[in-house]
Structure 1
Amino acid sequence: MADRRFIEEFLPIRDIGESSSKEKRIRKGHLSTLHVWWARRPLAASRATIFSSFIPSETNSKKISNSSDFLSKLSKWEYSDDLTILQKARKKIFESNKETWPKILDPFTGGGSIPLEGIRLGLDVSCVDSNPVAVLIQKCALEYSMKYGSIIKEPISQSIETRKNKLIEDFEKWMKWVNEKTRSEIEEFYPKKNPNEILVGHIWCRNITCQNPKCGLSIPVFNQYWLIKTKKEKASLFPFVKDGKIQFKIVGDNYEKFPEGFNPSKGSISNGNIICQSCGFTIEKKHTINEYYEKRTTQKLICSIFTKKGSAGKKFRLSDSEDLKILENATKFLENKINQIKSESNIDPIPNEFIITPDNKEYVKGGLYFNFTTVVLYGKTKWSDLFNPRQTLSLIVFSDYIRKAFSEMLNEGYEKDYAKAIVSFLTLAIGRLANYGSELCHLNPAGGGRIANTFGVHVLKMVHNYMESNPFYESGGGWNTSNEMIKKFLKNVEICPPKPANVKLGTASNLPHSNEYFDAVITDPPYYDNIAYSYLSDFFYVWQKRILYNIEPDLFSTPLTPKSHEIISNLPLIRGMDKNVAKEKFDFLKSKKDFEESLSKAFQEIYRVLKKDGITIVVYAHKSTDGWETLIKSLLKSGLVVTAAWPLNTEMKDRLESRDTAALASSIYMIARKWEKIPLGFYRDVKKELEVYLTKKLEYLWSEGISGADFFISSIGSAVEVFGKYEKVVDDSDSSISPIKLLNDTRKIVTNYAINKVIRGEFASEISQMARFYILWRWAYGNTKVPYDDARKMAQSVGIDIKHEWNKGFIVKENEIISVLGPHERKGEEMSKSPELIDNLHNTLLLWKNESKESIEKYLTEKGYKNSEIFKRVAQAISESLPMESIEKKWLDGFLTGFKSDDSQGGTQSKLF
């Protein structure tokens, strides 16, 4: 099928984006519940883009509308296991491809979203990934699930077998077997105080000695003291000094009343500095870290969390001597269990492998470390350091019985490959248990007292007051929850065709496939320096390896996950040494240039294995324009030609609003083909073509609700459609024009378009460069902070050199981050003599806040803005760009409303606006 595909002409981006963002909240049956993997693409967007890549484009408006409606429906989660809808989609693909099933590849498979939807639509799917943890997830989700769990015979057959899903039955059988065996050994270390209680977990805290020589108190380190903080219920720990010690009691609803003046949100540590509750002495962050590293701190069990049978609410009880005795017994039992496993299995069950540092060594004080593993600064330098003795005991006993389960299955006559499949799923459950069972988990008071797992964010940072979960608790982070999550996933995908993916451990820059083999390559490549997958996944690898080292030797043959083939720029992530010095000393660290070269090789391999009439989709969501430029250069270098680009909203709104730094709501899906490029383009012609095409595309993006930072990034993909089809672009003197120059032109076109839209036209050309920058910033980034290079490029697009403007007015630079100050963050005297519109607006808002209307009129008269429509329009544009909770928006709305009111009353202020 060499014709253009539907995705190259049209895509209902609003509907698909809505389905994708809603999907983030789904837990039952979703791929994301199978095992942690970072930055998975939404299944909705994957399903819709794959389907639209294999059906032809339409010219008839009714057919376009029908196909668009079907795509919108297909993308919804509730239809992901609807056989009628899926059969219709499969049949359409089959018939559109000469009654053959297209072969697709994802060379950066990761968590498996794209291949899963390929299988769901009936395609022949191949996967490649260099990370063994990712490959294990893929084998379970994409190979074993289809091979042993599918209940249909053919992709487009209506025949469904009436038998039960044997894979689900056997998986549940062995989950229960492992649970019962483990319970029989260690349940005594998770006791109930009375028969009606169900233990949820425990709250721990670190303790550090006050450095005041006159005090010397042991200080419990808490970020905050809340235990539960919901609309219905509030309770917290309350620290007090008694008998020369800091002790606790529980206060709040159904406990003692909150003491007067006590603020549970204010803990004993803030920004790394610890304040002694007794004498008020401050221990600075540097000293705190040193005390932790030198192991001069302790940890203490503070309270237990439990529920009562028949009640969903959480209860809290302070720990006592009985709890401490149980811990002591668990620690002794752990020592004996380690020796037993070493004797029986000839392995060390404790993951004493070090948390890898940039120099490939165990961290030593003052040495190199990565910014995503700051926990090593506190002396947590081995993976085993992230688990307390009872957590460790739980994990090694569960793991031991999973190993034994494999032998039991073979003794019962299971085929080896089938037994391997079940054990692999059980091993994924260990990963979830570890994720909810480390010292880096914490209590989530706003979530009703639930546990927040280790990888709520993709960093390993110190948690001073952590939550330990009960692995036998029927909900939360327990073993039973893993069982239910995996079962529901298997149930969701049982209507997938019995076409297991071909899963390979390998590298995208050296694919194990022949030339022109695939009809499509659809992938989500790595994002520059965004996530260090191989380093973070070691958290899971060290546990999985101890179960599967003999069962999956090809995956688990190295001490830690392989790092050399990962495509990443990790040099920007190092700390503790100048980056240039570090690169010279440790040449295996990967720079931006190394990343570009590796990514270019991967795209060249994609080009090689793609059929001549094949199609490629590249998904990218990096917020940095630097990362985008790297991707585009690599893509163009491969020979692929971008034919379309679509932004799909893939993030939840509330998740974005909680961030302090700029983030994208959209991922950009770029479609490319293996087409011959036009040999030569002239810059003046290409620039005109760029303006015409972008204006048309920007109109569509604007109408579909794409805005802010997403609008700028979306335009990049659209621009590549224009200049990427030329082998070379030259100016009138025959000098080559770089893609970077063309991207700069793109920014200027988009900037002018956005300003005209935000200001609504007629006054845009009359606004100063600084005002244009401010309006654009608020529209694109709101109140968030932005990396310097992105801010520089935005400033450049409006004709400003940001280096000449920062730290003089509203533009502030701190390290490599730029922020833009609002009126509440500035002082009137700094702005009163400035001619700049934004400074005058800010000063006016300060006067409004102080309820000084006469001063406002006098000030605006002096500045020439008393009757200025531009001044009003700028104020309105900024207000409309900011979120409702913004202080600046509230001031602007109050100011504007006040003058509208005066205008309606015919008062003296009516002439202002």
Structure 2
Amino acid sequence: MSIRHLVKTPKKLIEVALPLDAINVASAREKSIRHGHPSTLHLWWARRPLATARAVIFGQMVNDPSWKWELEHPEEIPPNNLKASWAKSRKRLFTIIEELVRWENTTNEEVLEKARAEIRRSWQETCELNADHPQAAELFNPGKLPAFHDPFAGGGALPLEAQRLGLDAHASDLNPVAVLINKAMIEIPTTFAGRGPVNPKARLSRDLVGQEWKAARGLAKDVGYYGQWMRDEAQKRIGHLYPPVEITAKMAEERPDLKALVGQKLTVIAWLWARTVKSPNPAFRHVDVPLASTFILSSKAGKEAFIEPVIGQDRYHFTVKLGVPKDAESVKRGTKSGGSHSPFLCLLSGAPMPFEYLRKESRAGRMGARLMAIVAEGKRGRVYFSPTKEIEAVALSPIPEWRPEVEICHWPGRTNVVEYGLTRFGDLFTARQLVALTTFSDLVQEAREQIKKDALAAGLDDDGRALCVGGSGATSYADAVAVYLAFLVSQVANHSSSVCGWNSANTQMRSVFARQAIPMVWDYAESNPLCDSSGSFSNLFERQVKGFEALGYGTIGIAAQADANTQTASVAKLVSTDPPYYDNIEYADLSDFFYVWLRRSLKNSFPELFVTMAVPKAAELVANPYRHGGKEKAEKFFLEGMTQSMHRLAEQAHPVLPVTIYYAFKQSEVDSDEGTSSAGWDTFLDALIRAGFAVSGTWPVRTEKEGRVIGNDSNALASSIVVVCRPRLADAGTISRRAFLRELNQLLPEALDEMTKGAGDDRSPVAPVDLSQAIIGPGMAVFSKYAAVLEADGTPMSVRTALQLINRFLAEDDFDHDTQFCLHWFEQHGWSDGKFGDADTLARAKGTSVEGVKQAGVLFASGGVVRLLKWADYPDEWKPETETRLPVWEALHQLIRTFKADGESGAGKVLGAIQDKGEAVRQLAYRLHTLCERAGRAEDARAYNEIITSWSAIESAAAAAPKLKQGSLFA
């Protein structure tokens, strides 16, 4: 018998209930927090919010109040008094979570200790329960919590929060950039926690004598000191490449706004360039014409500025103008054509320049750049200048001594720069940017040597061991500080590339990774890394230092490079992980952008981590059709790899604890007509089940910031599902399709009821938009607990089929016949007209008639036309107690009409009069909201959502309303 058969597993809180609304609110808010957030250390794509990670790990560790009774009474229905007692206990746990997820409490020791105490209490209960286990000494030590492991650690949010909750945290990833981020998050801060700074300024400062260097404060002080040293040294070495603009009397002649500034020197914050190619018109073939997507510099009200091209016979130049342009549309369009095949027009001749022409020119090395405008920082905001030959000459004068020659992996739509001849990472930077970034990289190595000397002078012992081999002396400390300094170079690179755009709305530049791609940018903004504006070294450095505020708390942390398919770090550990999302983000391909600079700065400190010239890609679990030779092969690679990595987790994870796995939906998946079903989601779940996992719960969490979706970017992440898993029993049997459907129909109504009705303050309801995702949990719990669900022909049912059957449940009909008719008619026609013949056929199938539904007062039917009445068409003087035929459909829409007219109190009166239908009304509102969301009917969805979100208040109003007498509802 296996170890897993011998353990006794208390059901965990996350397998039963979570205060989802509180978690989602905190997670959404956190996405807007920049100052003091650890994410400012280094960019990583699709980070999970700390609040979500903290709540999920807490829920994995804490026993649900029902655990003891359910172990003693398997598959029995508990009595109501016990349910009430459990609900009260859950409310106490929910209160802890609600406090725990608030950003203000991230480092609040009082709040954290409450959570840790609850975790320790549950662990002790679990250990006592398994005291007679043959491996109790190894697996169930009541004095030591199990360690945590995330095999796809990425941005480090999950191991960081496990560490904060008192668990030793282990993080591993194949990607060396991710490994370094995790070292910076969980390993370095706790290794050097509580130590004072070593820099001479801090050691000699009287103000800092006796200072308590709690957590990572001392480390932060040193990063601040040596970061400033790097900035000052860079100014000495390359400051001449970033000269200020001196305002002359001649410049002020045509610009009255500059008269008060004559004689002043303004710091330039950006130079705006347009790429150029040779004109396709033979008459102007000798001219490099600009590819400008817009000539707008600032669209801020009252501060408008734009570029005006001045055209000669066969030449042109740019001049900056202030105010609103006369032909605003033309200026906004730049030299774009507005067409899809020929994106730009020749500025001189108007000749179209198709994409193929642009690719041909750029690949032939005939793509250049022309300075269009200069942006400087004035006392009252941005000041815009026309370019000069002298300023352009300075920008083009540097000769870089080094450039990263790593090739950019091409994935059409994600790395389009390759199609235009920018095939190596060095091609993404101007010569001046290459000189600046190389200078900063070299300064990291110089700073490391100085830190080591200062650490020795400060009395820190030196064991001669580097950080990468577990050292903790002066050498190791120098390596540690150098990591954060190297991260600054990465951050500057993200804001100092020729694929950074200019945002005219907020007059700031966009970073390279405004989205998860390296797109082609035709007119780019070259920032000044030595100024103090957004994207500069100083600005990024200030934000980074504040990120230390949430680090250095908790137990030990260890980050290592490992392939998830072969790692062994998960043995006997709590596992929560955020694996790659099928084909959504090419982590390795994108990480090369940072890796080339990090390697230059840190390869001597971390030789094994930077042994390769680029980030390892062959084993990366991403369904990349261009890497694997087609979509089918890529899907097969992902499925097999994900299955293998999940199988390792199923085998290795602590046998008494559930595993949680995040799956983030792309916008296109959420908007799918099939509900929560897509190739990525299906493949992911298929891999879990093949790996030997059974799903015991799913929780839809709002891990992405609202408004994240840019344009039609269907790859933008929309939301996540946290999938709760336990290993499937080795002796799990099979079940027929018919029996599976029977079990679904028994279980899902109760699960849906639990998800939607709430229990006062005991549980927050699942939001309507999340319902189609949340219902997957109990549905897949049925599907995945069996070795197979067999179709009529004996073949195993696919995950996609199971998902479709689960999704279909939300549209199944368990209402009265009239409401069934209305629900299906609405799905097909909404509020529009339909044919009587179609309505008659549907009505007969639903056991009613068109005339009967019309008599119920919810349908217009005349002259062969049938149309559902909208709530605004319902009569004001409605008396439900006189109705002889009252479908749930009518009750709901009368409730909506009254709510809109008289608010919660009026709706409460209606609900009080139809209390026997109240629950069905609420369920119908949920179903209609889901239907409208999928169909894009925003106004209708909003009306149903208002009823759902106000349901508790409407119920309270109904309870407080006086008992109704005949005819008194609207008296």
- Could you tell me the TM-score, scaled by structure 2's length? 0.72
Change in Cα spacing, 1:595 to 1:881, as seen in structure 2 (3 Å) is: closer
Aligned partner of 1:558 among 612, 615, 619: 612
Aligned partner of 2:549 among 491, 500, 516: 491
Q: Deviations over 1:250-299 (max 9, x none)?
A: 33xxx255224554332212445212344332111221222122122220
Residue matched to 2:884:
none
Partner Cα distance (1:247, 1:166) in 2 = 53
Partner Cα distance (1:866, 1:728) in 2 = 45
Residue matched to 2:491:
432
Q: Deviations over 1:114-160 (max 9, x none)?
A: 011111111111111000111111111111122113589xxxxxxx9
Partner Cα distance (1:672, 1:538) in 2 = 33
Aligned partner of 2:692 among 639, 653, 656: 639
Offset of residue 889 of structure 1: 5.9
Does the 8 Å CA contact 1:542/1:560 hold for their aligned counterparts?
yes
Offset of residue 32 of structure 1: 2.0
Q: Report the AA paired with residue 242 of structure 1.
A: G
Aligned partner of 1:691 among 739, 745, 757: 745
Does the 8 Å CA contact 1:610/1:674 hold for their aligned counterparts?
no
Residue matched to 2:844:
none
Partner Cα distance (1:733, 1:65) in 2 = 48
**For 1:748-827, what aligned pairs fall within 5 Å after superposition?**
748-752=808-812, 762-765=818-821, 772=827
Correspondence 1:211 to 2:280: yes
Secondary structure at the residue paired with 1:41? coil
Change in Cα spacing, 1:732 to 1:207, as seen in structure 2 (3 Å) is: closer
Partner Cα distance (1:328, 1:673) in 2 = 60
Residue matched to 1:79:
105
Aligned partner of 1:292 among 354, 359, 362: 362
Aligned partner of 2:662 among 619, 622, 625: 619
Offset of residue 213 of structure 1: 3.0
Change in Cα spacing, 1:409 to 1:144, as seen in structure 2 (3 Å) is: same
Residue matched to 1:322:
390
Q: Report the AA paired with residue 247 of structure 1.
A: H
Q: Report the AA paired with residue 691 of structure 1.
A: N
Offset of residue 80 of structure 1: 0.7
Residue matched to 2:95:
69
Residue matched to 2:260:
none
Q: Report the AA paired with residue 711 of structure 1.
A: L
Partner Cα distance (1:742, 1:417) in 2 = 53
Aligned partner of 1:138 among 167, 170, 182: 182
**For 1:446-461, what aligned pairs fall within 5 Å after superposition?**
446=505, 448-461=506-519
Residue matched to 1:655:
708
Change in Cα spacing, 1:78 to 1:879, as seen in structure 2 (3 Å) is: closer
Offset of residue 352 of structure 1: 1.3
Change in Cα spacing, 1:147 to 1:260, as seen in structure 2 (3 Å) is: same
Residue matched to 2:123:
97
Secondary structure at the residue paired with 2:747? helix
Residue matched to 1:864:
865
Does the 8 Å CA contact 2:665/2:719 hold for their aligned counterparts?
no
Residue matched to 1:596:
639
Q: Deviations over 1:397-454 (max 9, x none)?
A: 01111112222233345411111001111111111011001111011122x2111100
Aligned partner of 1:726 among 771, 777, 786: 786
Change in Cα spacing, 1:6 to 1:232, as seen in structure 2 (3 Å) is: farther
Residue matched to 2:40:
33
Partner Cα distance (1:761, 1:834) in 2 = 18
Secondary structure at the residue paired with 1:300? strand
Residue matched to 1:173:
225
Offset of residue 383 of structure 1: 0.6
Q: Deviations over 1:659-690 (max 9, x none)?
A: 46486643111111235264343433321221
Offset of residue 836 of structure 1: 8.2
Residue matched to 1:901:
none
Does the 8 Å CA contact 2:24/2:701 hold for their aligned counterparts?
yes
Aligned residue pairs total: 758
Change in Cα spacing, 1:666 to 1:243, as seen in structure 2 (3 Å) is: same
Offset of residue 702 of structure 1: 4.7
Q: Report the AA paired with residue 173 of structure 1.
A: Y
Does the 8 Å CA contact 1:666/1:710 hold for their aligned counterparts?
no
Higher CA-based Rg: 2
Offset of residue 654 of structure 1: 2.2
Q: Deviations over 1:144-196 (max 9, x none)?
A: 122113589xxxxxxx9823622112111211121111110101111112455
Does the 8 Å CA contact 1:220/1:246 hold for their aligned counterparts?
no
Does the 8 Å CA contact 2:827/2:931 hold for their aligned counterparts?
no
Does the 8 Å CA contact 1:645/1:670 hold for their aligned counterparts?
yes
Correspondence 1:46 to 2:53: yes
Change in Cα spacing, 1:432 to 1:249, as seen in structure 2 (3 Å) is: same
Partner Cα distance (1:619, 1:468) in 2 = 37
Q: Deviations over 1:470-510 (max 9, x none)?
A: 1112231111123212211112224x12x331111011111
Q: Deviations over 1:64-91 (max 9, x none)?
A: 1121122112111111121211122122
Does the 8 Å CA contact 1:373/1:459 hold for their aligned counterparts?
yes
Change in Cα spacing, 1:263 to 1:187, as seen in structure 2 (3 Å) is: same
- Could you tell me the TM-score, scaled by structure 1's length? 0.77
Residue matched to 1:399:
441
Residue matched to 2:244:
192
Does the 8 Å CA contact 1:274/1:288 hold for their aligned counterparts?
no
Secondary structure at the residue paired with 1:511? coil
Secondary structure at the residue paired with 1:265? helix
Change in Cα spacing, 1:454 to 1:765, as seen in structure 2 (3 Å) is: same
Does the 8 Å CA contact 2:694/2:725 hold for their aligned counterparts?
yes
Partner Cα distance (1:354, 1:684) in 2 = 54
Over aligned residue pairs, what C-alpha RMSD do you find? 3.5
Residue matched to 2:589:
535
Change in Cα spacing, 1:682 to 1:280, as seen in structure 2 (3 Å) is: same
Partner Cα distance (1:453, 1:227) in 2 = 17
